[in-house]
Amino acid sequence: MSTRSRSLLILLALAAGLSGCGTVNEKLSFGMGDYVPQWAGGLPADAPPRPGTPQYDAYLKERERKRLMPAADREKEEQAQKGATGATSGGAVR
């Protein structure tokens, strides 16, 4: 086999390998963000659940419940939640 045809064969093999990686990474990257820690660029702790899951349906129902609630009651509930999480949050922002 000549050097030219060997180079062409290697180039074709590399191109085929790289094109195959595109579809694999597309499918893997969708769910991998859920497993990356927040400090490494993953989802924040307060991110809503993914669409299509039962948790997402419950999240939407809770959001709709809060939207329909009178403003005074909503503020009281938010303050109660902040008070409960504020005691465990740790340090102050400077």
Alpha-carbon distance of 78 to 85, in angstroms, equals: 11
Token couple for 69 = 């609630």
Q: What is the pLDDT of residues 37-93, one digit of tens each?
A: 788 877 788 888 888 888 999 999 989 998 888 888 888 888 888 887 665 545 555
Q: Residue 7 above 60 pLDDT?
A: yes
Res 94: pLDDT:
47
Res 93: pLDDT:
54
Res 28: pLDDT:
67
